Amino acid sequence: MKADHITIKFILASIIFLAGFQMNAQEKRLRATSAEEISAKQTEFFADQLELNATEAQELGKINFKYAKQAKEFKEEGRSKETREKLEKLNHAQNEEVKALLNDEDFGEYLVLKKKMHERMRMKMKERHIEAQYKDQQKKREHMHERKAYMEKLNLNDEQKEQLKSIKETYRKKHQALRSEGRSEETHKKLEALLKEQNKEVRSVLDEDQYKIYLEMQEQRKEKMKRRRG
């Protein structure tokens, strides 16, 4: 293709965006991009690939802007079956207007280009999904190994294990409820207070040496989380 790699990626993502199929970080970046920029990149790409004259390119630009603007408005309604259907109808309507503008040969090539872009993006999304699943499983395995080593180091008796399990489950639910409120200074303070409350209960279950190990490992987990976020 004549277009540079970055432009092709942008066109690929923006066409999928307008058709309503892509739901990932690329879509978030496109949400912040104006309809003018999306339509301009699309028009530049197709005008170049189809070798359109100035008049055809100008008319195609008007069509692309019209539908890019409507697509962005629909996207603001959120993810739903209804929105997806609207976007698919919008994509079909756009194709019909482009068909009226181009000759049969150019329109056929236009549809082939769009189809190839859809297929490429679907494949990339599938690859990202598989990669995300692998990383998730890897994290779970790491967590299991860490927990096993953690329990061995604490050297808990059966009663302590059951008590800690109960405490963990209780506070896990409380932490989830607070995190659902969103990230804010107030929520952060509540989480810190909840952790102190949890540690107080844990302290009543463990002896002095065990509790010291528990706090050390808690700090290690905090540092690990900070590095991940970083």
Rg (CA), the chain: 27
Q: What is the largest CA-CA distance in the chain?
A: 83
Mean pLDDT per 10-residue interval, the chain, length 230 residues: 49 58 52 81 90 94 91 77 86 93 93 84 80 84 80 86 90 86 84 91 92 87 75
Whether residue 211 contacts residue 188, with contact meaning beta carbons closer than 8 Å, is answered with no
Residue 111, pLDDT score: 92
Residue 16, pLDDT score: 55
Residue 50, pLDDT score: 92
Residue 5, pLDDT score: 47
Distance CA 58, CA 101 (A): 11
Residue 22, pLDDT score: 45
Residue 159, pLDDT score: 92
Residue 140, pLDDT score: 83
Specify the pTM: 0.51
- Burial state string for 135-159 with b = 16 or more CB within 10 A and e = fewer than 16: eeeeeeeeeeeeeeebeeebebeee
